[in-house]
Chains A and B, each alone.
Chain A
Amino acid sequence: MRNKQATQLLFELSQPGCAEAIVPPCDVPSRPLAELVPPEELAETPPPLPEVSEPALIRHFINLSQLNMSVDTHFYPLGSCTMKYNPKRNDRLAQLPGFANLHPYQPLETVQGLLGALHALQQILAEIAGMEAVTLQPAAGAHGELTALLIAAAYFRHRGEHRTTVLIPDVAHGTNPASATMAGFRSVQVKSNTQGLVDLEDLRSKLNAQTAVFMITNPNTLGLFETQIRRIADMVHAVGGLVYMDGANMNAVMGIVRPGDCGADMMHYNPHKTFSGPHGGGGPGAGPVAVKKHLADFLPIPVIVETAPGQYTLDENRPLSIGRVRSFYGNISVLLRAYAYIRTQGPEGLRRVSERAVLNANYLLARVRSFLPVPYGHRCMHEFVASAMKIRASRNISAMDIAKRLLDYGFHAPTVYFPLVLREALMIEPTETETKATLDAFADTLKAILEEPPELVHEAPHTTPISRPDEVLAARAPILKWTPVSESASG
């Protein structure tokens, strides 16, 4: 069954002259190009793109598609990424011609249905957050973080305060410190305690008049709920700082805990995680940001507002706004999928989703912890982090080995080596859309792998199209594009 053609590159399939025309001949009188554009700006030849026939093109990409694991084909317990089932109805509805064929600058009277949906989504996201205002514009979670930190900066500037630091727990996503830097802040790391939660003493010692924002992910990346969240928020507010919640893990708490009620001043959502948007091989996602009232004036422009019942417009005239964070409005088709998902669930459904996500994770935790230690937490939320430290010491099988061997059994690997506080970490997130049978099969497989001959596991995967690529070579001598043989020989 191995298909060698599958790994040929488009450029190697190229055969001059075999691509067919997709456009008709010109139906208006043509003029020489040099009459229309100064000759020095004209290219003599078009760019050297490959030329492939349509059948070759289809076979190429379909073969490539089959080299991927995906949610629709495999269990994908990639912690922190929330790879849950992507409902087909949402894809279909988001791509209706009345949504897909809208130009961003067409008259607003002609997009009232869309604006109505987006306005409703804003209100729903505000309600789930326990906050008052929402922008849907950020293009990804990290873009939402940046947007929120710029809002914080604008807020303090407006108040005449000069605050320079953002406090970030050591278990945080790497995007948090990177976003803080981009927004002009210095980040300061806050330690976790022995329970894997924010160390309040360490936090206290780092809070001061320079503190602009404390960024917290709750549940955190160890899958644990920060039970002291109210107290933490009070401590941050006491020095005049703001609390930002990274909403990457909202799938665990919808309708159960609202960040705003816990004292967070702002948060972002990852609709591709929480509201089941397909991840697209790494995007597009979106990163809506919700804020409390005192930050609403700083949201990016434009803001969708309702001017009369059922009438919507874009408000650009907002003097305190941080400005624009992207062109046009946002990743609309991702947002429409989120809207469709939420409307399918309703308030009870959303809560039940979180309950089942937590049930599945705790069930898998109960099954796994007998053979793979889970150092932090007796209970988890929607994910947990196991450690392969012990098995590494006893049988020399690492977290990476386990991850690779799982691929042989048809399971996508968990997230490995994150969060950084735990050595040999395996971050497992089953999500609510998996059956007990799948979780049992996964747990049984995991257990069996730990008992396999270590050499077998070291050399895994054995059945995948490729195995253990040389990543050092890739980084030491980067080859980032295809080069024709003649060129690469002379170069």
Chain B
Amino acid sequence: MAYLPQTEQEVKAMLAAIGVQSIDELFAHLPSDVRFQGQLKIPPALSELELTQHMEDLAQRNVGTHQKVCFLGGGAYDHFIPAVVDFIASRSEFYTSYTPYQPEVSQGNLQVFFEYQTLITQLTGLDVSNASLYDGATTLAEAVLMCLSHQTGRKRVIVPQNVHPEYRAVLATYLSHVSAEIITLATPRGIIDADSLARVVNDQTACVILQQPNFFGCVEAARKISEITHAAGALLIAVVDPISLGVLRRPGDYGADIAVAEGQSLGLPLAWGGPYLGILACREAFLRRLPGRLVGQTVDRRGQRCWVLTLQTREQHIRREKATSNICTNQGLMALRATVYLAALGPHGLRAVAELCLQKAHYLRERLQREAGFQPLFNAAFFKEFAVAAESPAEVKTLLEIATDAGFFAGIPLGRWFPELANALLIAVTEKRTQAEMDRLTAILASARTRADSRAIDRKSSMTPSSQRTVQVE
């Protein structure tokens, strides 16, 4: 009788109070042709002990980042999570409550969301933030929808090829029934070419998307791109790694109109991709188009400062089909984690983490280049992630297998999304990686390359400078 507290005696008393003989009678008004006959074909019930053994067995069939040294990135990163984050997030007054519809008994959550909104504006240098969305990819799609509805009549969305491929895919799905055209801008050198961008931005352009650092880890010339975008009257959406803002300029400081981020880096477990956190901040002009929850400050009838859900007339439960988005439940607990994380680090902690990522990533790339003969795929500056070229797709596969056997998740093969980059690997270095781990990985890869008798050849980027692909979406 898992989780059912009523005794048989109580059930009898309750049935009597209702005026029926049996529980089944409560379902008597359901037509027999919709009643399910028989029993669901699902596995039988397990006791807590059996369930624990079963789930532990499943968990043990996986190999996690606690067992292998993780150099994987691509939008999800193995950052350190301070103990206070798990401690606060496991308070059940936070995690077993719901959306704060009754502010009097939800000031804890409301204040956390207000603090989260403030922290996100501080982090991004923008005016307002909502209280979280699902993940980075869907948040980018929401941001583009905001721009399209703000820039009525402009239908062009410019997306560089170095924006996370899954974000681009989600954007295409979200825009599949919107009258807009997605222009994919080729980035053969890994970063946006200012002249190429200037050629495609025009008075039809609603927005330009800039990922900083981009999917390949490269640092873009953000201010220049912002200027080009705004000169055409278009809006700039910056997709950022929140950790990078410990050292890089904030989106608001280079003129971005909307900033989007995947918040996983801010104290969220990797959890094979979710739940994560969609961060969205913007200039005040876009306030009424912001999707999701907003928490505002007010006073109660006794004059005390307090917090409430506000501007709900934008939302689906009031505006229904005219709502700015359909988002209802979002990622409250994940926003709490990010709030605690940012508060635990403070400005200097965030800077320290960012600098460690930056320095260590450069250390590893240099060693891989010098001792294992890997050439950087791109020459641009980078933050914590970089791409290197191997001899061939087959070599990439072999090297990754050898590294995995030796205890390392060494990188992500880029051929997964970019067939023209099938000989390249994307490698991420967080503050958790030690010099010893990096030296060991270098040695393993170097020896694997020697063993395979493969010579490191100075190869130029093979990323096809394909002419601009224009994808028209009806």
A390 to B249, CA, bound (A): 60
Contacts of B46 in A (CB 8 A): 343-344, 346
A105 to B169, CA, bound (A): 16
Contacts known (A433-B3, A465-B104); A42 close to B249, Cβ less than 8 A: yes
Other A-B pairs, 6, CB within 8 Å; known A31-B362, A359-B23: A38-B221, A58-B84, A58-B87, A68-B107, A114-B62, A468-B300
Contacts known (A64-B112, A127-B41, A343-B46); A177 close to B316, Cβ less than 8 A: yes
Partner of B304, one of A413, A466, A482: A466
B285 to chain A, nearest CB (A): 13
A115 to chain B, nearest CB (A): 9
Stretch of A84-92, A203-211, A236-244, A289-297 lying at the B interface = A84-92
Q: Are A41's CB and B249's CB within 8 A?
A: yes
B388 to chain A, nearest CB (A): 16
Query: A392 contacts the other chain (Cβ, under 8 Å)?
Result: no
Q: Are B61's CB and A102's CB within 8 A?
A: no
Interface 1/0s, chain A 194-236, versus B by CB < 8 A?
0000000000000000000000000000000101011000000
A78 to B308, CA, bound (A): 18
Query: A391 contacts the other chain (Cβ, under 8 Å)?
Result: no
Query: A320 contacts the other chain (Cβ, under 8 Å)?
Result: no
Q: Are A89's CB and B272's CB within 8 A?
A: no
Residue of B nearest to A76 (CB): B98
Query: A112 contacts the other chain (Cβ, under 8 Å)?
Result: yes
Contacts known (A49-B345, A281-B109, A379-B26); A89 close to B10, Cβ less than 8 A: no
Complex interface residues of chain B between 427 and 463 (CB less than 8 A to chain A)? 431, 434-435, 438
Query: B394 contacts the other chain (Cβ, under 8 Å)?
Result: no
A71 to B300, CA, bound (A): 25
Q: Are B125's CB and A47's CB within 8 A?
A: yes
Q: Which 8 A-B pairs have the closest CB atoms?
A: A184-B177, A328-B273, A98-B59, A113-B61, A346-B45, A280-B333, A101-B64, A284-B275
Complex interface residues of chain A between 154 and 180 (CB less than 8 A to chain B)? 173-175, 177-180
Query: B320 contacts the other chain (Cβ, under 8 Å)?
Result: yes
A117 to B336, CA, bound (A): 28
A375 to chain B, nearest CB (A): 17
Residue of B nearest to A130 (CB): B36
Q: Are A116's CB and B58's CB within 8 A?
A: yes
Query: B344 contacts the other chain (Cβ, under 8 Å)?
Result: yes
Query: B199 contacts the other chain (Cβ, under 8 Å)?
Result: no
Contacts of B296 in A (CB 8 A): 474-475, 478-480
Residue of B nearest to A415 (CB): B101
Partner of B166, one of A33, A57, A276, A324: A324
Query: A444 contacts the other chain (Cβ, under 8 Å)?
Result: no
Q: Looking at A73, A114, A174, A470, which has the most chain B CB atoms within 10 Å of its CB?
A: A174
Contacts known (A58-B84, A345-B45, A349-B45); A481 close to B36, Cβ less than 8 A: no
Complex interface residues of chain A between 331 and 387 (CB less than 8 A to chain B)? 331-334, 336, 340, 342-353, 355-356, 358-360, 362-363, 365-367, 379
Contacts known (A7-B111, A475-B310); A333 close to B23, Cβ less than 8 A: no
B324 to chain A, nearest CB (A): 9
Instruction: Supply 14 A–B pairs (Cβ within 8 Å), ascending by A.
Output: A7-B304, A23-B349, A27-B435, A41-B248, A52-B346, A58-B84, A105-B412, A140-B329, A227-B31, A323-B169, A326-B135, A344-B45, A468-B104, A473-B298
Query: A40 contacts the other chain (Cβ, under 8 Å)?
Result: yes
Query: A247 contacts the other chain (Cβ, under 8 Å)?
Result: no
Contacts of A173 in B (CB 8 A): 317, 328
A345 to B2, CA, bound (A): 7
Q: Are A322's CB and B176's CB within 8 A?
A: yes
Q: Are B173's CB and A150's CB within 8 A?
A: yes
Partner of B435, one of A28, A60, A81, A331: A28
Query: B295 contacts the other chain (Cβ, under 8 Å)?
Result: yes
Partner of B327, one of A102, A142, A181: A142
Query: A288 contacts the other chain (Cβ, under 8 Å)?
Result: no
A186 to chain B, nearest CB (A): 8
A406 to B376, CA, bound (A): 64
Partner of A7, one of B104, B305, B383: B305
Contacts known (A26-B360, A37-B247, A110-B404); A475 close to B311, Cβ less than 8 A: yes
Q: Are A93's CB and B348's CB within 8 A?
A: no
Complex interface residues of chain A between 455 and 476 (CB less than 8 A to chain B)? 459, 461, 464-471, 473-475
Residue of A nearest to B60 (CB): A98
Contacts known (A68-B105, A348-B45); A473 close to B343, Cβ less than 8 A: no
Residue of B nearest to A117 (CB): B58
Contacts of B63 in A (CB 8 A): 106, 110-111
Contacts of B108 in A (CB 8 A): 64-68
Contacts known (A70-B96, A93-B55, A412-B102); A324 close to B66, Cβ less than 8 A: no
Contacts of A465 in B (CB 8 A): 104, 107
Contacts of A272 in B (CB 8 A): 329
Q: Are A139's CB and B138's CB within 8 A?
A: yes
Query: A388 contacts the other chain (Cβ, under 8 Å)?
Result: no
Contacts of B234 in A (CB 8 A): none
Q: Looking at A99, A128, A413, which has the most chain B CB atoms within 10 Å of its CB?
A: A99
B15 to chain A, nearest CB (A): 7
Contacts known (A58-B88, A113-B59, A178-B316); A257 close to B35, Cβ less than 8 A: yes
Query: A453 contacts the other chain (Cβ, under 8 Å)?
Result: no
Complex interface residues of chain B between 250 and 301 (CB less than 8 A to chain A)? 250, 253, 262, 269-276, 287, 293-301
Contacts of B471 in A (CB 8 A): none
Q: Are B273's CB and A89's CB within 8 A?
A: no
A74 to B167, CA, bound (A): 40
Partner of A227, one of B29, B125, B319, B350: B29
Contacts of B84 in A (CB 8 A): 54, 57-58
Q: Looking at B67, B172, B300, which has the most chain A CB atoms within 10 Å of its CB?
A: B300
Partner of A469, one of B93, B96, B299: B299
Interface 1/0s, chain A 264-297, versus B by CB < 8 A?
0000000010001011111111100000000000
Contacts known (A46-B347, A177-B321, A178-B326); A433 close to B5, Cβ less than 8 A: yes
Residue of B nearest to A358 (CB): B26
Partner of A480, one of B48, B76, B125, B128: B128
Query: B406 contacts the other chain (Cβ, under 8 Å)?
Result: no
Partner of A57, one of B170, B272, B340: B340
Stretch of B151-159, B201-209, B351-359 lying at the A interface = B351-359
Contacts of A49 in B (CB 8 A): 119, 122-123, 342-343, 345-347, 350
Complex interface residues of chain A between 43 and 83 (CB less than 8 A to chain B)? 43, 45-52, 54, 57-58, 60-62, 64-74, 76, 78, 81, 83
Contacts known (A67-B107, A256-B36); A114 close to B96, Cβ less than 8 A: no
